[in-house]
Each structure stands twice: as structure tokens, then as C-alpha cells.
């Protein structure tokens, strides 16, 4: 069993896609073991996305992710890091496969509806960033 951090970004929440995203998680055997809705401050966004510090999109990305409410979830399942990445689709929605969340709903390379950890190491950091050990259902 593996865990990953999933986020519905402010564009996904604003466009009322929470249910749509969660429906897909549930349909694909990705078990939600922790979940919360919150707003990130700009400083929290900078820390969460520290891996992208210095890149041309860092400023815009941290501004965007702190611009409104997000839903953060921990998903559990077999090979869930890779499976959830596949469900999301490529970062650039124009390159994402048919049927993926980003291909269907993203409007922009930045406003791409969802986030997902990309490795066990990033999953451990990102899960710990949002959740403490009392906030899991098991
Ligand atoms: N992003 C962007 N411009 C880019 C690349 C990324 O605005 O050229 C944003 C986009 O919202 C993306 C996030 O930065 O989801 C993190 O980038 P990463 O390369 O980690 O993509 P992801 O892991 O989300 O697919
Ligand atoms: Mg990433």
C-alpha cells in the first residue's frame, strides 16, 4: 500500500469540480484516508512548492495556489502515486491523454485543476505538510 497527496486547486474548487474529481478517485480504487478544505497563504505556498523555487512559473504558481480555497486529500492504494498521476494527466493539458482530469477540465498550463505527488519522497513531504498523524481515518 502506498499513499500520495492530492489537491484540488482553486480553479477546481471555484468551478465546482470537487465532486467530479472525487468521483474519479473513488471509481479508481483510490481510498481517501484524510481530507480537508483550506486556504494557503502565499508563504505556505512558497514553502510547499519550494522544489520549483527559481523557475519562471514559481511566482505565478504560488500566487494562484494561494488565491482561494483548495481541497487536500491523502489517497491510499496500490501504486497510487503513479496511478493518480495517470488519472490527472500531463501538466500541460494540451499534452494530457484523453479522459484525464487535466485534459477534460484544465484551461491553462497553470490552472490545471489538480496536484499530485510525483514520488514517494515528495509524497512523504507533501502529506506531512498538510496532515498530522491524528487526521487519518486509519
Ligand atoms: N506550472 C506552470 N507552468 C509551467 C509548469 C508548471 O504554471 O510551465 C504549474 C502547474 O500548475 C503545475 C505546477 O506548476 O501543476 C507544478 O509543476 P510541476 O512541473 O510539478 O507539474 P505537476 O507535477 O503538477 O504535473
Ligand atoms: Mg509536480
Report pLDDT for 31.
Answer: 98
Is 138 a member of any domain? no
Ligand 1 lined by 129 (C-beta under 6 Å)? no
Residue 31 appears among annotated catalytic residues = no
Is 29 a member of any domain? yes
Report pLDDT for 72.
Answer: 99
Helices (H) and strands (E) in the chain, counts: 7, 4
Q: Which domain holds residue 103?
A: 2-129
Is 135 a member of any domain? no
C-alpha of residue 120 to centroid of ligand 2, in Å:
12
Taking the mean position of all CA atoms in its chain, how far away is CA 68? 14
**Domain containing 98 — which CATH number?**
3.30.70.141
Which residue has the CA at smallest separation from atom 15 of ligand 1?
91
- Cβ-count burial of 18 within 10 angstroms (0-12 exposed, 13-18 middle, 19+ buried)? middle
For the whole prediction, is pTM greater than 0.95?
yes
Helix (H, G, I), strand (E, B) or coil at 86: helix
Q: Which residues surround ligand 2, an ion (CB under 5 A)?
A: 118
Closest approach atom of ligand 1 to CA 112: 11
Is 137 a member of any domain? no
- Tens digit of pLDDT at every position of the chain (138 positions): 999 999 999 999 999 999 999 999 999 999 999 999 999 999 999 999 999 999 999 999 999 999 999 999 999 999 999 999 999 999 999 999 999 999 999 999 999 999 999 999 999 999 999 999 999 997
Looking at the 3D structure of the chain, how many domains does it have? 1
Is 122 a member of any domain? yes
- Indicate the top mutation candidate among 68, 91, 114, 117 to test ligand 1's pocket, ranked by most ligand atoms within 8 A of CB: 91
Is 136 a member of any domain? no
Closest approach atom of ligand 1 to CA 64: 11
Taking the mean position of all CA atoms in its chain, how far away is CA 110? 13
Is 95 a member of any domain? yes
Amino acid at each position: 500500500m502506498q499513499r500520495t497527496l492530492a489537491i484540488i486547486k482553486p480553479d477546481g474548487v471555484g468551478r465546482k469540480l470537487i465532486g467530479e474529481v472525487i468521483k474519479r478517485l473513488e471509481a479508481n480504487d483510490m481510498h481517501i484516508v484524510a481530507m480537508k478544505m483550506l486556504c494557503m497563504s502565499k508563504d505556505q505556498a512558497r514553502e510547499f512548492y519550494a522544489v520549483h523555487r527559481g523557475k519562471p512559473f514559481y511566482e505565478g504558481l504560488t500566487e494562484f495556489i494561494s488565491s482561494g480555497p483548495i481541497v487536500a486529500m491523502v489517497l491510499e492504494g496500490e501504486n497510487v502515486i503513479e496511478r493518480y498521476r495517470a488519472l490527472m494527466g500531463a501538466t500541460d493539458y494540451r499534452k494530457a491523454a484523453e479522459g484525464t482530469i487535466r485534459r477534460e477540465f484544465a484551461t491553462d498550463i497553470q490552472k490545471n485543476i489538480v496536484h499530485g505527488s510525483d514520488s514517494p519522497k515528495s509524497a512523504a513531504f507533501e502529506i506531512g505538510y498538510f496532515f498530522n498523524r491524528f487526521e487519518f481515518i486509519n
